[in-house]
Amino acid sequence: MTKLLSEKNDDYGLDQMCDLAVKFYKAGYSEAKQVVYKRFEKNILEDYAFCGTEAIMELYGVEGVLKVAELVGEILIENPDDYESSWRIDDFQKRNKQVDIYKELEKASLENEFIKVYYNSIQQNKWTLPRHRKIKRFTYELVKEKMESKRFGFLSSDRNNELTEVVVEKLANEFLTEKDNQKIELYLRFFSARKFPFDYTPIFKIANGRNPKNKRLVEYAIEALKHFKSDEIRQFAINRIKTKKNPADFLCLLVSNYKKGDFKLLTEVINRSDDYDYIHSIVFGIIEIFEANPTKECQEPLELIYNKMNCGLHRIDIVELLYENNVLSDKIFKELEFDSEDRIRKLYRKIKNGR
């Protein structure tokens, strides 16, 4: 609470401290409510990051909403090009059906110019959920359209699996005759999600070659090769993983070519550095390998990378893999109860109930 009052710029830290203050108050620490109010008033001061909107609304109800409206309205007057959308008020209304919060704001706006500016702004900037657009059926024509518009992410989508084998073979034949490197790159993106239907040799040749200037053909060719099981591809992968300072791009090749004992090599790769960017670059491949190859051997490399990173999205994947392979340690299990990720805490409760 002391830190919340004095902290100026740690945006995520401030959000978490405000959320904690609400929990403290609900747990019986009455002084937390006043701390949130005092910190919220500092939002108007120079160098103080804005925080506490949701917290003060939850703690003070209608009074909190009016406090937010007054302070934000004052900021809007000083910054006429800025605006406030209605989503916070709409959310408050949804959770507090016993009060007409718009009527309360309208009434207060008659006597307070700051609240009036705020009220007008949320009326003019109504927040609505985006409408669901009808998804186009995945077809050969749609793939070609996305290639023309360079929609890279779309091309490597799992929706590629909706296409028939006939269509995939048609695209594969086009790829084999294509001369333009930019278009070859697009085809490889497609085949990173949908297995190339013919022999992998032409793709392997690209993966084993050099990139043309400003192109990423080698990277996408490697991604496309991950669907193939082959001694040649495995040896290529092992050599690159052993010799490259950062072998992140080559880890995916073990997805279809993992062998018993490879966990030792993966553990060595993880131990090469504690650098955040390095660890984050290799975690995708490590997870993908063990998702495709269930084994108790996953424990050592996954525990190691778990202890080296703080990304919640990857942590849930790591924990689930450890659990599914029956190698989740008691130490990590006990930590899950207090994890910042809701899905991990939910997994903790599931495991606990199972035990």
Measured N-to-C along each axis, helices 53-60 and 87-95 cross at an angle, to the nearest 10 degrees, of 30
- Model confidence pLDDT, tens digit, residues 165-222: 999 999 999 999 999 998 999 999 999 989 999 999 999 999 999 888 888 899 999 9
How far apart CA 340 and CA 345 sit, in angstroms, is 8
How far apart CA 20 and CA 14 sit, in angstroms, is 10
CB atoms within 10 A of CB 142: 16
Q: How far is CA 298 from CA 74, 126, 217, 227, 314, in A?
A: 56, 50, 31, 20, 15
* Contact criterion met (CB below 8 Å) for 190 and 170: no
| Beta strands in the chain, from DSSP E residues, in sequence order | none
Residue 262's identity, in one-letter code, is D
Residues 172, 173, 175, CA angle at the centre, nearest 5°? 65
pLDDT at 129: 63
Q: How far is CA 285 from CA 116, 140, 328, in A?
A: 54, 30, 20
DSSP string, 85-97: -SHHHHHHHHH-T
CB atoms within 10 A of CB 96: 15
Nearest to 325 by CA among 352, 348, 291: 291
Residues 226, 232, 236, CA angle at the centre, nearest 5°? 70
Note down pLDDT in tens along the chain; length 355 residues.
Answer: 999 999 988 767 898 999 999 999 999 999 999 999 999 999 988 888 899 999 999 999 999 999 999 999 999 998 888 899 999 999 999 999 999 999 999 999 999 999 999 999 999 998 876 666 666 777 888 888 878 876 666 677 778 888 899 999 999 999 999 999 989 999 999 999 899 999 999 999 999 998 888 888 999 999 999 999 999 999 999 999 999 999 999 999 999 999 999 999 999 999 999 998 999 999 999 999 999 999 999 999 999 999 998 877 789 999 999 999 999 999 999 999 999 888 899 999 999 988 7
Tokens (6 digits) for 29 = 């620490």
How far apart CA 53 and CA 37 sit, in angstroms, is 10
In the chain, domain spans: 2-124, 136-228, 234-355
Query: How many Cα atoms occupy the beta-carbon half-sphere of 126 within 13 Å?
Result: 5
- Model confidence pLDDT, tens digit, residues 76-95: 998 888 899 999 999 999 99
How far apart CA 284 and CA 249 sit, in angstroms, is 10
pLDDT at 139: 86
How far apart CA 279 and CA 57 sit, in angstroms, is 40
- The pTM for the full model equals 0.65
pLDDT at 162: 85
pLDDT at 146: 79
